[in-house]
Chain A
Amino acid sequence: MIEIDDLRKIYVMGTVEVRALDGISLEIVKGEFVGIMGASGSGKTTLLHMLGLLDEPTSGKIVIDGTDIAGLGDYEKTMFRLYRLGYVFQDYALVPDLTVFENVALPAMLRRDRTEDETREHSYDILKKIGLYDRKDHLPRELSGGQQQRVSIARAMVNHPDILFADEPCANLDSENSRMVLELFKEINEDLGQTIVMVSHEDWHKDYFHRIVRLRDGKVVGDTAH
């Protein structure tokens, strides 16, 4: 469960203050597939970065499954991201020098509670699930955009995160690949009960979300179940 209370993020650019997030309060429960939508500059990605522990809020509180993020040090945040969060980026963000298998297995390799065999087996299972097992020894540049994004999702899922964050994962994909990625998210959500928080500005994506949080000028202007 994610609890967000009066979250603010203010960027200071010279003498100008930009309120990227302006007092957001939300609760996201386990198993929800939440879409954060809004126009460009509304604060969607900033909110996701705050929730994903990629940036520090100016003020406000984020509590994930009872853990107040503000109380975590740098190393603890890193470990929190590794063990409990998954992140899918708009541009896939795969390591170009690693194979598909190595990219997927990378976060799992760092887990101290898994053996090498378990890491390999688990990574293979996920690759089979996303239909890219036969491409496991390929480099990212040898895959299509849709395939790369599926690898990115597999990497985010390999450590069984409590929450999966996705920052406009379909922005660089055509509609067919976008649909494939969204179907994959839906399947993960339904089959595994995976909590997913996804940023999107595509209106047709809302069909996949349980709940839509709309932002404008850093404020929540709509929060509806779908």
Chain B
Amino acid sequence: MGKKELKVAFLLALRSLQRGSRSSAILTVLIIGMCFTNMIFLPALFNGIGKTITEQIVDYEVGNVLVSPKSGDRYVTDLDATLDLINGMPGVERATPHISKGGTLTYRKKVLGATVRAIKPVDEKYVSPLYTKMIAGSYLGEDDTGEVIIGKPIAGDASVKEEDEFQASLGGVRVGDSISIDFGNGYVKDYRVKGIYYTGWTQADSAVYITWSDMQLVEGKTLDYADYITVKAKPGYSETFIKNELQQYGVSQKVQTTADLLSKSMGRALQSFAIINMVSLIVSIIITTVVLFIVITIKTLNSRRQIGILKAIGVDKGVIMHNYGFQVIILAILGILLGMVIAVLMAVYMQYHPIVTPEWSATLYLTPMDLVTNGLILFGAAIVAGYVPAYQVSREDIQTAMRS
């Protein structure tokens, strides 16, 4: 097949699309565009969910690197020295300790069990954006005692009946109200609610935060230990770099990056997402292939006489086949571009209007590589779907084609 033949095939294809049935061409482009959107939507949504969950885990649970007790230990001990060591390392923005305790919250006649997390509010600001999530009142101060901040789901809403609540709450706590916390060790204290926050991360929103000083009162001693330490990396420093550095410099605790933790806790969920993505991709490819196969088959069947005539005047079957092939290529390119535009617009829209569920909120997470990869897969499927009927009809003998 020479350059001239390809040029003629392209001319025939272009003219057929320009001057043939416009509605058929537009419909085909729309179908391919929708197939592309379908192909990319579910994986992008799952990626978005995964990314949101990862970000929330980093922000509200483990930071970039988690230092937890080594095997057999209950706490990270020698806390001050460990914190000084970690905070002195290059690449570390800040390390901050956490200690949690179960507590029973009482507000008026409402009683609710919740996790009480003790933090060092100033250090915590460097590691977690919790302080930016206050929806009422204010964040904890470093030396606050007798004050708590609580998650919105725990605070509840006075206008919602108890039986209508999605999650048990204290029934409408407001800033300034007093709640009592029984820590189960005989220590019971009334706390003033300093602020109410909402992060969107269930575990954080279902907790109550007090200061490290208050937890020392609960424990009745100075705390030189913690359940774990969360470490925030400076921009440009990888989690692995920080982990290796901590281990090199003699942090004797267990050191794990977010990725280490997620590969265990999220591994199964991510595997499930990957399987669903694959099924969705295969279904989309099959639909696109079948649709294009039908469109091109109908087109070729309707043009059999014309194909016969082209052959009769000396047009080679290769030119005829490539004519339909080029039509599919043009339709596929337009459809894929349309699909890309739709997908990007949806991603932008969902940045501002994410899908929010009680468990997570999600946006569409799309990378240029996702768009290109899916585009190429769909393009390949379209070529196969278009060329098969084109090849079949181009092989038909002239008499049979002309008689149809």
**Chain A residues engaging chain B, CB cutoff 8 angstroms:** 49, 52, 54-55, 74-75, 78-79, 81-83, 85, 87, 89, 93, 95-98, 102, 106-107, 109-112, 139, 155-156, 159
A52–B399 CA distance with the chains assembled, in angstroms: 12
**Chain B residue at minimum C-beta to C-beta distance from A81:** B314
Complex CA gap A78/B306 in Å reads 16
B313 at the interface (CB under 8 A from A): yes
A87-B312, A107-B313, A110-B314 known; A97-B16 Cβ under 8 A? yes
- Whether A49 lies near B399 (C-beta < 8 A) is yes
Q: List 18 A-B contacts (CB under 8 A).
A: A78-B311, A78-B315, A78-B316, A81-B314, A82-B314, A82-B315, A83-B314, A95-B15, A98-B12, A102-B11, A107-B315, A109-B4, A109-B7, A109-B8, A110-B5, A111-B4, A112-B4, A159-B314
Q: Taking the complex as formed, is B296 at the interface, i.e. its CB lies under 8 A from any CB of chain A?
A: no
Q: Which residue of B lies closest to A155 (CB)?
A: B313
**A79-B314, A81-B314, A109-B7 are contacts. A97–B399 as well, Cβ < 8 Å?**
no
What is the interface of chain B mostly: helix, strand, loop, or mixed? helix
Task: Please name the 6 residue pairs, one residue from A and one from B, whose CB atoms are nearest each other, closest first.
Answer: A82-B314, A81-B314, A97-B19, A93-B309, A97-B15, A54-B398
Most buried by A among B305, B313, B319: B313
B248 at the interface (CB under 8 A from A): no
Q: Which residues of A contact B18 (CB under 8 A)?
A: 97
Min CB gap A45→B, angstroms = 11
Q: A110-B5, A110-B8 are in contact. Are A97 and B20 (CB under 8 A)?
A: yes
| Residue from B310, B399, B402 within 8 A of A95 (CB atoms) | B310
Q: Is the CB of A55 within 8 A of B311?
A: no
Q: State the Cβ distance, B134 to closest chain A Cβ, in Å.
A: 66
Q: Using Cβ atoms and an 8 Å threshold, which residues of chain A touch B235?
A: none
Q: B2: which A residues are within 8 A, CB to CB?
A: 112
The docked-state distance in angstroms from the alpha carbon of A55 to that of B402 is: 11
A150 → B minimal CB distance (Å):
16
Cross-chain contact B313 with A82 (CB below 8 angstroms): yes
B321 to A: closest C-beta gap in Å: 13
In Å, the complex CA distance between A121 and B306 comes to 26
Bound form: Cα–Cα A156–B309 in Å: 12
Given the interface pairs A97-B16, A112-B2, the reply to whether A54 lies near B312 with Cβ below 8 Å is yes
CB pair B319 A110 closer than 8 Å = yes
- Within 8 Å CB of A109, what residues of B? 4, 7-8, 11
Decide if B232 is an interface residue (CB 8 Å cutoff): no
Q: How far is the CB of B254 from chain A (nearest CB, A)?
A: 71
Q: How far apart are B403's CB and chain A's nearest CB, in angstroms?
A: 11
Q: Are A110 and B398 touching (Cβ within 8 A)? A: no
Closest to B8 in A: A109
A55 to B11, CA, bound (A): 28
Are B399 and A139 touching (Cβ within 8 A)? Answer: no
Please give, as numbers and ranges, the residues of chain A lying within 8 Å of B313 by CB-CB distance.
81-82, 87, 106-107, 155-156
